[in-house]
């Protein structure tokens, strides 16, 4: 018996599609849940891989196979490593060379000075976030620490807060306004939370994971004012800032807006912002960074100390961060190829968003708001009554059962999200669109076959 047979279409009360489709065991699994673009068919950027290859095996740089700027960049990065070797440890907060590159990138992006001493490199942005949350954690008058958290949240955030012993205090994003942050909802959540915890931070995802919303300048200003009034630390996930594709929409960092607002906000509001090489598809290299703003130097000392438990972030990931924030410039030998490859990814993402919304919105009982940024869509599905009934009997969420059935029948992996509310069985799903277009097309075809087949085979639904 397979691990999914307990939720398969063969269980009593649910009849699966009868349209002659193959069993999932005969199909390649398509993962639209993880955000791993290379696993889903998108190629890595040539410049980054060439430079990393030269750093791993320097003799490659001697035969002039690579473009001149690749060889120069590899030599520069090797010089930054101990004994010119990527096999050596680095400082716990990262290579000084890379931290300075990141500081230059932030300064250029925001028009606000950034000190390398405020930049901390970690094994992915989630590791940096965990460090900050653990520093916040504790009890005060038997009250746990609370973090205001968006609903829906990034997939791993609830688990991270739970592991840190921190109370998740949910604030709902406004579905009727393209999943915007509503400041009145923030105040409501804050008031309610104070009865059971000590709220110390608010988590923001911009561009939003998983809804694809990108905050406006006004929205960011409102959140900053709220954080200042409530005395909350801003934890800002800006990992997908590379991917903003909606017409007339632009990414603006929280730090840029904070300093545009001036004192007292720019002097007092504490913030940690996060970025990662996942944004360029190099998830497996495991590196990210955070910048701390208006944080007490004594706290930053503890950040550095906690990062010491990892010894150091993988060096290849650190070098990839340097390449991400300092890509080829006009006139460099790799500039044309790099920009063409980046443009291909951007165009693929924009096309996939349009195509997925077109297909999903044409399915009975399915609706999907178009994203303007990020790498996910968050469609809503009216799950058939038979699935809801079986889910209740098995004490699982209807959306999770629907996802398991889809995986069993069509080998497409999507992630269950939050319930949409009444009627029962109306659920959201996370669907990654940072995949190759041919793989997405195949996945959408399988989703259509499954959903329509499920409805046709259960007319009483």
Q: Are 171 and 186 in contact (CB under 8 A)?
A: yes
Q: Which residues pair with 288 in a beta bridge?
A: 122, 276
Cα dist. 325→99, 101, 104, 337 in Å? 10, 7, 9, 17
Single out the residue of 336, 160, 312, 146 nearest to residue 230, CA to CA.
Answer: 146
d(CA 98, CA 102): 6
Report domain extents, the chain.
5-35+342-457, 89-325
Q: Are 16 and 10 in contact (CB under 8 A)?
A: yes
Single out the residue of 352, 341, 162, 172 nearest to residue 245, CA to CA.
Answer: 352
- What CATH number matches the domain at 5-35+342-457, 3.90.650.10, 3.90.1150.10, 3.40.50.1000, 3.40.50.2300? 3.90.1150.10
pLDDT per residue rounded down to tens, the chain (461 residues): 333 333 333 333 444 444 444 455 568 999 998 878 887 778 899 999 999 999 999 999 998 889 999 999 999 999 999 999 999 988 888 999 999 999 999 999 999 999 999 999 999 899 999 999 999 997 666 789 999 999 999 989 999 999 999 999 999 999 999 999 999 999 999 999 999 999 999 999 999 999 999 999 999 999 999 999 999 999 999 999 999 999 999 999 999 999 999 999 999 999 999 999 988 888 888 899 999 999 999 898 888 888 878 788 899 999 999 999 999 999 999 999 999 999 999 999 999 999 999 999 999 999 999 999 999 999 999 888 888 888 888 888 888 999 999 999 999 999 888 766 667 778 999 999 999 999 999 999 999 999 998 888 765 54
Single out the residue of 94, 129, 100, 128 nearest to residue 115, CA to CA.
Answer: 100
CB environment 14-34: b (16+ within 10 A), e (fewer): bbbbeeebeebeeeeebbbbe
Q: Are 202 and 231 in contact (CB under 8 A)?
A: no
Supply the CATH classification number for the domain 89-325.
3.40.640.10
Q: Are 211 and 371 in contact (CB under 8 A)?
A: yes
pTM of the model: 0.91
């Amino acid at each position: 018996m397979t691990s999914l047979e307990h939720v398969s279409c063969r269980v009593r009360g649910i009849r699966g599609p009868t349209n002659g489709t193959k069993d999932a065991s005969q199909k390649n699994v398509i993962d639209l849940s993880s955000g791993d673009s290379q696993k889903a068919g998108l190629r890595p950027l040539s410049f980054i891989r060439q430079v990393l290859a030269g750093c791993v095996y320097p003799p490659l740089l001697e035969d002039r196979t690579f473009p001149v700027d690749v060889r120069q960049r590899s030599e520069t990065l090797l010089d930054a490593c101990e004994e010119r070797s990527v096999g050596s440890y680095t400082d716990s907060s990262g290579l000084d060379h890379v931290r300075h590159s990141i500081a230059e990138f932030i300064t250029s992006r925001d028009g606000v000075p950034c000190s390398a001493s405020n930049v901390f490199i970690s094994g992915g942005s989630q590791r940096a976030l965990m460090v900050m949350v653990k520093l916040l954690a504790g009890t005060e008058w038997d009250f746990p620490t609370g973090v205001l958290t968006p609903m829906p949240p990034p997939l791993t955030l609830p688990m991270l807060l739970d592991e840190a012993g921190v109370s998740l205090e949910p604030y709902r994003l406004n579905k009727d306004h393209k999943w915007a942050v509503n400041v009145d909802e923030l105040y409501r959540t804050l008031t309610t939370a104070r009865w059971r915890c000590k709220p110390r931070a608010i988590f923001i995802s911009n561009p939003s994971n998983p809804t694809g919303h990108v905050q406006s300048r006004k929205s960011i200003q409102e959140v900053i004012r709220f954080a200042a009034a409530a005395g909350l630390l801003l934890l800002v996930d800006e990992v997908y800032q590379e991917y903003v594709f909606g017409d007339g929409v632009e990414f603006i960092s929280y730090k840029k807006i904070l300093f545009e607002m001036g004192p007292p906000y720019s002097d007092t509001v504490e913030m940690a912002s996060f970025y990662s090489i996942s944004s360029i598809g190099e998830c497996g290299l495991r590196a990210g960074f955070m910048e701390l703003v208006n944080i007490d130097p004594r706290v930053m000392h503890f950040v550095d100390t906690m990062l010491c438990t990892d010894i150091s972030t993988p060096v290849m990931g650190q070098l990839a961060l340097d390449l991400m924030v300092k890509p080829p410039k006009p006139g460099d030998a790799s500039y044309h190829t790099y920009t063409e490859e980046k443009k291909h990814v951007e165009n693929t993402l924009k096309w996939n968003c349009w195509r997925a919304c077109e297909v999903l919105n044409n399915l009975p009982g399915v609706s999907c708001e178009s994203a303007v940024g990020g790498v996910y869509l968050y469609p809503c599905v009216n799950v058939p009554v038979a699935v809801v009934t079986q889910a209740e009997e098995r004490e699982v969420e209807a959306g999770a059962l629907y996802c398991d059935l889809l995986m069993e029948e069509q080998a497409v992996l999507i992630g269950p999200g939050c319930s949409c509310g009444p009627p029962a069985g109306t659920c959201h799903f996370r669907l990654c669109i940072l995949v190759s277009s041919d793989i997405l097309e195949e996945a959408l075809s399988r989703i259509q076959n499954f959903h329509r087949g499920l409805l046709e085979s259960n007319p009483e639904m």
